[in-house]
Amino acid sequence: MGLIHSVAQFFEAGGKMMLPIMLVGLVGLAIAIERFVTIARAQAQTKRMWAQVEPSLGEGDFDKARKIVDEDKDNTALGRLLGAGLAMQGAVRRRDDVEKAMQEGIMEIVPRLEKRTHYLGTFANLATLVGLLGTVSGLISAFSAVAMANPAEKANMLSASISEAMNCTAFGLGTAVPLLFLHAFLTSRTQHLVESLEMAAIKYLNVLTLRTNRIAQQASVQNIRAA
């Protein structure tokens, strides 16, 4: 009860700007939780999908890999990416064409993974600025009240008013710092996931290139024998 009472007093002393800061912090926290869950799920799905499709790609069995991707019920990011490449591979043999198709897939996937994460940085700045606004507003009110107070009470009133005004800045900074940390953390996790997708795409393209070269070599040998 003592802690709750202290928090309530701190919040009340900060003035009317404490509520907007709290709302910014709660919205930012909700976004951070949603993004963390989404990215963690995407990472797990990517690992699971790659474990299923890698043996088929290693064997050069693209039809089986295409079937696994088509049966991807979770519609994973890796499944969509490989699906774009495998669909193009079924129509053409050139690496450049397949690579372009997968690059388009990456361009569609990345914005979905980064969605709403940038709001955390904006909310952190907003919390800081609202805290400073509350402090300035509180100081203006404090000096206005002191100007009309009795000389004997001015020092005490000014000291109490400044202390209350600083609560708003403290709360704004206390909200902004975790939001900045969450923004950096989620950005790092998202970048790691994107790099994993790009690495999977490169591995697939390398397998495709090796198979294409092998087919070309076999065709060349057959032509030589036929001649």
Blockwise average pLDDT, block size 10, the chain, 227 residues: 69 78 94 94 88 82 82 80 78 71 84 89 93 83 69 66 78 93 94 90 81 60 59
For residue 180, being part of any structural domain is answered with yes
b/e string for 129-165 if b means 16 or more Cβ within 10 A?
A: ebbebbbeebbeebeeebeeeeeeeeeeebeebeebb
Amino acid at 159: S
On whether residue 131 sits in a domain, the answer given is yes
- Which pLDDT score, from 0 to 100, does residue 16 have? 79
**Looking at the domain assignment, is residue 109 inside a domain?**
yes
Residue identified by tokens 């299923």 is 52
At 125 the pLDDT is 94
pLDDT at 123: 95
Residues in the chain: 227
Report if residue 88 sits inside a domain: yes
Rounded (10°) angle between helices 151-226 and 118-147: 170
Is 7 among the domain residues?
Answer: no
Give the whole-angstrom CA distance, residue 89 versus residue 101. Answer: 10
CA 191 – CA 132 distance, rounded (Å): 33
Structure tokens at 17: 């700007």
**For residue 29, which phi and psi values (nearest 5 degrees)?**
-65, -40
Q: Residue 9 domain-assigned?
A: no
The torsion defined by the Cα of 54, 56, 62 and 67, in degrees rounded to 10, comes to -90
Q: What was the pLDDT predicted at 29?
A: 95
**Is there a domain that residue 202 lies in?**
yes
Quote the pLDDT of residue 157.
67
**Phi and psi torsions of 15, nearest 5°:** 95, -170
> 3-class DSSP state for residue 99?
helix
In the chain, the amino acid numbered 185 is F
The 10s digit of each residue's pLDDT in 29-53 is 999 999 999 999 988 988 888 888 8
User: Average pLDDT over the chain, rounded to whole?
Assistant: 81
Q: Is residue 220 part of a domain?
A: yes
Q: Domains in the chain: how many in total?
A: 1
- Residue 86: give the domain boundaries: 16-226
Question: Is the full-model pTM beyond 0.85?
Answer: no
